[in-house]
Amino acid sequence: MPPEQEKAPAEAGGTAIHLAGLRRDYGERTALDGVGLTLAAGDSLVVLGPNGAGKTTLLRILATLLRPSGGEVRVLGCSLPSEAWKLRGRIGYLGHEPLLYRDLSGRENLRFHAKLHGISGAAAEERIAELLGGAGMERRADERVAELSAGMRQRLAICRCVLHEPELLLLDEPDSNLDAEGRELARALIGPGGGHTRVVVTHDPERFLPEADQVLRLGIGETAAVS
Amino acid sequence: MTSSRAAFAAILGKDLRAELRTLQSLPAMALFSVTTFVIFRFGLDRTSLSGSLAAGVLWATLLFAAVLGINRLFVAEREEGGFDAIRLAPIDRSALFTAKAAALLVYLLALEVIAVPVFALFFLHDLGGLVPLALVLLLADLGLAATGTLISSMAVNSRARDLLVPLVLLPLVVPLMIAATGATEPLLALGGPGYDRFGTWLMVLGLYDLIFGLVGYAVFDFLLED
């Protein structure tokens, strides 16, 4: 388990994410404008939209990896960007890149991330073994990441994402490169019902909409719609 | 928060493990330095060097070999998402600076274990200055590691990284090179090592290390922001 760190108290009503008038600009171009929603702790938000609508930008802002250009952003009771440091270690982020070093094995990568999150020794080994088993990666865990297929890397990335038992999962196309078996295993690790609050960016609404408590539709040059 | 010491050990261990496995930086640095000594040997048409010329050849070669390693210092972080992973973790981000500087220091020391004996074999008749030279090398390496880590982290997001690192780094290390060659010159003097102003140059090197170590530690957190 990660060590105790200073955590912001849960907001009234158990709100995990509150956005109001969120805007993000890249120079002259506006990627997000006027995004607003409130997501309760433990709920799942599915984010839909065409390429370039700002889905990944939204996820990176929630992960504290990008600063918002305007508007109000509160995540797990922390105001962003000013209290971003309080969120570190409480978020599991699965982006387009697996955040794994190609020249290390899967197990070495997970050990590295465990150390960064303050999990070490027997506790780390136990957690890593549990996750590798859950992802069907025990037999390939000691191979270099560079030698693994994209699907295998995605399974490892999912293990990395939940290694420190985060409260909030931010998942960008979590099923990408996964086969049917991989999708089922991934569902057990990052699916609904695990006690996490989830934000899932997807181009596959048929798969993820049944799990959604809220849906955010982003359009290019349009106001974001929540349903 | 994960302790800075644990984060430092994790990042340094990861870097050294990856370098041992892939040998992406060290062999290139060592080969560059040996090849440059060969070029100097035949270019200058000299079988022995002493004083300021010996110090200049040694430090110019080591500096340009170091640039090769500095260029690659953050490539894995940039290309494989290490920056994001570290920004998401509950660690003091300056642990990344200290770990990267320590990794670069290890590369420089390993480079010198190879390059200095080759230099001595090619150019030195009197080896008496090599023992005190180790202290000069260590102090100069500390400064080069601090400055190199800072510049490498700034340049890594640029497509012109290979150009940017030497252009920004070399002016910044001019004082370091002046002090390093100043301290090395009497050690490699004709007729045996001397210690004229040796202590003064060592203090300049120490001051440079302190300033750039503190600057890097203080500003590194801001360099990781988007």
pLDDT one-digit tens code per residue, A110-167: 999 999 999 989 999 999 999 999 999 999 999 999 999 999 999 999 999 999 999 9
Residues from A in contact with B at Cβ < 8 Å: 2-3, 5, 63-67, 88-89, 91, 93, 95, 97-104, 108, 112-113, 115-118, 120, 144, 160
- For B4, which residue in chain A has the nearest alpha carbon? A116
Q: How far apart are the first and last CA of chain A?
A: 36
Q: Helix, strand or coil for residue A151?
A: helix
Q: What was the ipTM of the complex prediction?
A: 0.88
Note whether B3 contacts A117, CB cutoff 8 Å: no
CA distance B31 to chain A (A): 23
Q: Is A51 exposed, middle or buried (0-12, 13-18, 19+ CB in 10 A)?
A: exposed
Range of the domain at B92: 4-223
The residues, any chain, with a CB within 8 Å of residue A172's CB and separated by 6 or more, are A55, A56, A59, A94, A95, A96, A201
**pTM summary value:** 0.90
- Which of the residues B84, B88, B225 would you substitute to probe the A interface, choosing the one with the greatest number of A C-beta atoms within 10 Å? B88
Note whether B91 contacts A120, CB cutoff 8 Å: no
From the list B10, B21, B225, the residue facing A116 with the nearest CB is: B10
> How far, in Å, CA of B25 to CA of A105, rounded?
20
Domain ranges of chain A: 37-101+156-226
- Which of the residues A76, A90, A99 would you substitute to probe the B interface, choosing the one with the greatest number of B C-beta atoms within 10 Å? A99
From the list A91, A102, A116, the residue facing B7 with the nearest CB is: A116
Span A169-220, pLDDT tens digits: 999 999 999 999 999 999 899 988 778 899 999 988 888 888 889 999 988 7
Task: Determine which helix (DSSP H) or strand (DSSP E) holds A37, and give its type and residue range.
Answer: strand A29-40
Tokens (6 digits) for B200: 């003064």
Say how many domains are in chain B: 1
Span A2-30, pLDDT tens digits: 444 444 444 444 899 999 999 999 988 88
What DSSP state is assigned to residue A191?
A: S
Q: How confident is the model at residue B224 (pLDDT cuts 50, 70, 90)?
A: confident
Q: Which fold has domain A37-101+156-226?
A: Rossmann fold (3.40.50)
> How far, in Å, CA of A71 to CA of B187, rounded?
63
Note whether A3 contacts B9, CB cutoff 8 Å: no
Note whether A65 contacts B87, CB cutoff 8 Å: yes
Query: What is the maximum alpha-carbon separation in chain B?
Result: 59
Task: Say how many CB pairs under 8 Å bridge A and B.
Answer: 86
